[in-house]
Chains A and B, each alone.
Chain A
Amino acid sequence: MAKVLEGPGMGLMKKWGIHVPNYVVVTSAEELAKLGQVNDWLKRSKLVAKAHEAMGSRFKLGLVKVGLDLDGAVSAVKEMVGRLVGSITVSQVIISEMIPHKEEYYCAVKSVREGNEILVANCGGIEVESNWDRVKRLPVEVGQQPALEALEKVVKEAGFTGPLVKRMADFAGKLFACFDNEDAQYLEVNPVVARESDGELVALDAVTLLDADAKFRHPDWNFQFAAEFGRAYTKNELDIMAIDSKIKGSVKFIEIPGGDTAMLPAGGGASVYYSDAVVALGGKLANYAEYSGDPPDWAVEALTEKVCGLPGIKNIIVGGAIANFTDVKKTFGGIINGFRKAKADGKLKGVKIWVRRGGPREKEGLDAMRALKDEGFDIEVFDRYTPLTDIVDKALAGK
C-alpha cells in the first residue's frame, strides 16, 4: 500500500469524473499570490490551507487554516512553509476552496479477499466514525463492476432518499471506477458534501492508498508516494529505497529513533520475528531492516553501512533463517565489507555483533564472519543448530 497525498489523490478522482474542490499545491507564498492573479476562484472563494505533507494531527499543529481569503491564505502559506515538525520540514501547502454545504456523507471502496467493497453512509465527518453501524456495504466480486441498481439499493439502505439516491449511487460508481482503474487498495472520501450552489456531490477530503506494485501500468503516476506512518522518509531510508528499486531481491530500512538494538536480519518473515524477540525482551529497536531474494552484495553492503551508522546502538543482530537461494557467503561478503568500512570510519565502538544464519554456502559465510574476530570486531557467530532468535536472547541477556 502506498499512500498518496491529497493533491495527487484529488487529481486521480477528478480524472474519473468526481467533483473535487478547486485546489492548488504551492511551495511558496509568492507562487500562491501569482496563481491568485490568474485563478478567479482563489479570489472569490473562502479558502482552506493545509500543510501538504505526510503527517498526522495537522489541525492540532496549526497546519490547517480555514475560512481564509486570498491574502489570508498567502500569509498562511508563508507561515507554514519551512516549519519543522518532528523530522519533517513543511515544503508544500495545498490551498483549496471551501464548499458551502449543510449535509455530510461518507463513501469508500476497499479491497477484500473476494473482491472489493463499496461503503456508504448518510453521515460523514466525525459522525460516521462514532456511528459505524450506519455504514452499508456492497460487495463487488473480483473482476466485476457494480450494477447501477445494486448501487441505488445500498444507497437507499444507507438512508438516502429522493434525488440524492441517484446522485450518491452515481458518486459511488465513479469512486469505484477510480479505485478499479487506478489500482487503488483503499479510497475513502469523508466527507462527501452536497454543494449548496448546485446540489452536486463533492469529495471534500480523501484518503488514497494505491498499489505501488502496479506502478508499471500507470505512467501518469508522476507523484511520489508518502510515508505511511505519519512522518516523511529520512535520507537514509530514501537511499535504501532507491537501491531497492534497482536490484534483484530487496533491501529495506526504516529508522526508529532512540533505540539501541540495531537489526540487520535476512528475510521478510524472519526479520519480523527478530524484531518481536527484541521487543518481547524489553529491548529497544533502533531500526527495521531486511534483505532477501539473493540481493547483490553491494546492496547489502550499503544497507550495512546505514545500520552501522545508527546512533547509540549497542548490538547488531545479523539474523536469518535457512535461506532457500540467497547465497550466504556472497551476502555476508557485503555485510563484512560494510562492517569494515564502518570500523574504518570510527563507528562500531562498543557495539557487539550477533550472527545466526543458514542456507546455500552457509559454512563459508559463517567462517568469514568468524574471521572478523581476528580483525578486532566484537562478534559472536552461530549456525543453524542455534534456534532462530536465540541470538537476541544472548544479546539482551546483559540488560
Chain B
Amino acid sequence: MLVNKKSFVLKSAMLIATGMLLASCGSETPKEDNLSTGTDTTAAEASVEVEDVSYSLPSPLQIASIFKKSGLKYKEGITSTLKDPSKYTTNVSKALNLGVYSADLSYTVLNKQNQEAMNYMKLCRQMADNLGMGSVFDQGNLSKRFEKNIGNEDSLAYIIAELQMVTDMYLDENDQQEVTSIVFAGAWVESMYVGSKVYEKGKDKSLNSKLAEQMTILGSIVNALKVQEKKDAAIGGLIADLQGVKDIYDGLPSVKDHPEANDDTEKEMSLTDDEVSTLTTKIEAIRTKIING
C-alpha cells in the first residue's frame, strides 16, 4: 500500500514536471522556438517579419510644444468637443480618437487650462480602456500624479512624456505597433487643425512656418501606416485621406517653387494665406470624419 502511494506520488510529480516542460516550450517566445529547433533556415527566418525600414514618429506632446514655442495661443472651443468614448467601435476609430484627445491634452496642459486638461486626461484613460490598454495609466501612479500636479505645467508635461513611454512599451510588448502610428496620425490631424484655426485669427508668421514644417513629416506618417496596413485593412482609408492632404501640399506653388523640396533644406518655409486655407479645409474634413467615428 505504501509502495503504491509512493509510486502514485512519483508518477504525479513526473506528470507535473512533464507538463511544465511542455508549457515552457509552448509559452516562451514562440517565434524563437521555431528557430531553435534546427529546422530549415530559410523557412525559420521567413517566419520572423523584420521590416527593412521602420519609422520613429514624434509624440503629440512634442508637436504641441513646437507650436507653443512658435507663439500658438490658447483658443477656447476649438479642441474636440468632449464625447462619449464608447461610441467608437473599431480599433482604428478608437486609436485615432485617442490621438485626438492626446493632442488636446498636450495643448491644454501647455496652455495651463487645468480643468480642460483634467477632462482630456480622463477621456484618454477611457479610450485607452476601450483599447484594452488602460493599465498603462496605473503604472507609476501616472493618473494620480497627474491630478496631484494639476497647475504645474512642467510636472504635467513630464508625466505625459512618461505616459507616452509606458504606452510605447506596452504596445510593443503586445505586438500592437500599428496602434502607435494610428494614434499619432489622429494627434497630428488634431494638432494641425488647432494650429490652423489659431492661425486664421492672428496670421502669425512663425506659426505659418511651423504649419508648413509639420507637413514635411506627413510622408513619414503615411509610410509608417503603410507598413502596418496588413495588420488592419481599415488603415487603408486613413492612408488615402492623409495622402490626399500630402498631394494637395506637394502641389502648392510655395512648395513647388521652394528650392531643394521639403527634405533637404534647413530653411523655414512659409505658405500663403490661401494655401493654408486650402490645407485647413482638407484637414478639417478628415478631422470631422475621425471625430464622427
A binds B: no
Listed in ascending order, the chain A residues whose CB lies under 8 Å from chain B are none
